[in-house]
Amino acid sequence: MNNLVDEIFGGNKPAHHERFRGEYPVRVRGLVNRFGDQTIHDDLDLDLKRGEILGVVGGSGTGKSVLMRSIIGLQQPNEGEIEVFGQSMTDAEPDEALGVRNRWGVLFQGGALFSTLTVGENVEVPIKQFYPDLDPELTQEIARYKVVMSGLPEEATIKYPSELSGGMKKRAGLARALALDPELLFLDEPTAGLDPIGASAFDQLTKSLKQTLGLTVFLITHDLDTLHEICDRVAVLADNKVIAVDTVPNLMKLDHPWIQEYFNGPRGRAALTAQALDELRKHMDLPIAAQTVKALDKSDEGEA
C-alpha cells in the first residue's frame, strides 16, 4: 500500500507556502497524450480560474480522467506544459513537485478508499504522510473534523468502507481529499452512481465547501444537473482538445454537434427545466412565479 500512498500523496514533507493569489492555479498548454498509436490529447490548452468550479465534460473515452491525471502528475504527458500554482509540473524536480502536491485534494472515481482501513484512518493517511511528527491524537481529531465537514455522522469515522453506502463512500473520499486543507480540489465523477437526491446533496456540499473554504474545483462529470447547478464554467473535451470553455448558457448557443446533442438533447432540456423550476420556487410569493411553476409542473406530468 505504501507505493500507492506515495504515488497519490507524494513521499515527503511539504515545503511552506503562501496561499496562491494568481488568477490561474492550473494552466495547461499544448498537452499531448498518446497510448501506442491512440492519440488522446493533441495540443490541448486549459486554464482553471481561482475560486471557480470548472465542470469538465466530453464523451466517454475523450480523455477527461487522463487530463486530470496529467495535471496531478500521475500521467507523464508526451508533450506540453502544465503549471500548478505558477510552478511547472512537467519540468519540476521531485522536491518542487512535492511542494505543491499537498495543496490539492483528489476524489477519484469510486472513492479509492483503502478497504482495510476505517474511514478515519483513510483520512489520516495523507496527514501522516505529510506530517509524520504530528501528535497521533491531533491527527485523529483533524480526521474526525474532516469526516463531519463532509456531511458524515461522526460515528462513520470508525466504520470500514464495506459498511458504507455509495453516497457515504463518496463523502469519505471527499473527507480524505480535504485532509490537508487543499486550495485545489479534483473530483472525478463525484455523483456517478448516486440517486438524484444523494447527487443533489453532494452538489450542494461541493458548492458550500467551495464558498466557505475558497476552493478552486476541477470537476469531471456526466451529470447535467451538476453542470447547471454548481459549475461556474464548463470545459468541453472533443476532437482531442478542449473545444470550448464557457458558462452553460453560452455553450448551448455553440454550433458543435456534440455540444448541441449533449446540452439541447432531451436530458439537457430536462435538466434546464428542473433548474428553472428551482429558481422560480424561490420566488413563489410573486403570482407570476407561482403560475409558471404550476404550468411547468403540469407539463412535466404530461410528459411522464
Ligand X SMILES: Nc1ncnc2c1ncn2[C@@H]1O[C@H](COP(=O)(O)OP(=O)(O)OP(=O)(O)O)[C@@H](O)[C@H]1O
Task: Return the DSSP state at 192.
Answer: T
Closer Cβ to ligand X, 65 or 118, answer by number: 65
Only segment of 43-51, 58-66, 77-85, 96-104 that touches ligand X (CB under 6 A) = 58-66
Among 6, 22, 39, 61, binds ligand X (CB under 6 A): 61
> What letter represents residue 127's amino acid?
I
Decide if residue 200 touches ligand X (CB under 6 A).
no
Closer Cβ to ligand X, 39 or 299, answer by number: 39
How many whole angstroms separate alpha carbon 281 and alpha carbon 269? 18
Only segment of 59-67, 118-126, 140-148, 282-290 that touches ligand X (CB under 6 A) = 59-67
Decide if residue 219 touches ligand X (CB under 6 A).
no
- Residue closest to 55 by CA, chosen among 268, 230, 264: 230
Only segment of 11-19, 44-52, 61-69, 99-107 that touches ligand X (CB under 6 A) = 61-69
Taking the complex as a whole, how short is the minimal distance between the CB of residue 258 and ligand X, in angstroms? 13
Closer Cβ to ligand X, 61 or 265, answer by number: 61
How many whole angstroms separate alpha carbon 202 and alpha carbon 150? 9
Closer Cβ to ligand X, 75 or 90, answer by number: 75
Decide if residue 65 touches ligand X (CB under 6 A).
yes
Decide if residue 58 touches ligand X (CB under 6 A).
yes
Work out the burial of residue 109: count CB atoms within 10 Å of its CB; fewer than 13 is exposed, 13-18 middle, 19 or more buried.
Answer: middle
According to DSSP, the residues that pair with 235 across neighbouring strands are 56, 245
Taking the complex as a whole, how short is the minimal distance between the CB of residue 63 and ligand X, in angstroms? 4
Decide if residue 63 touches ligand X (CB under 6 A).
yes
Taking the complex as a whole, how short is the minimal distance between the CB of residue 235 and ligand X, in angstroms? 12
- 136-149 and 119-130 helices, crossing angle to 10°: 120
Decide if residue 295 touches ligand X (CB under 6 A).
no
Please, which of residues 23-42 interact with ligand X by CB under 6 A?
35, 40
According to DSSP, the residues that pair with 233 across neighbouring strands are 54
Only segment of 57-65, 162-170, 228-236, 258-266 that touches ligand X (CB under 6 A) = 57-65
How many whole angstroms separate alpha carbon 63 and alpha carbon 39? 10
Among 9, 25, 26, 64, binds ligand X (CB under 6 A): 64
Read off the C-alpha cell for 132.
509524520
Residue with cell 476552493: 215
Decide if residue 76 touches ligand X (CB under 6 A).
no
Residue with cell 476505517: 118
Read off the C-alpha cell for 260.
448541441
Q: How many residues bind ligand X (CB under 6 A)?
A: 10
Taking the complex as a whole, how short is the minimal distance between the CB of residue 120 and ligand X, in angstroms? 29
Edge-first strand order for the sheet with 233-238 is 104-107, 184-188, 216-220, 53-58, 233-238, 241-246
Decide if residue 60 touches ligand X (CB under 6 A).
yes
Q: Are 247 and 232 in contact (CB under 8 A)?
A: yes
| Chain positions contacting ligand X, by CB under 6 A | 35, 40, 58, 60-66
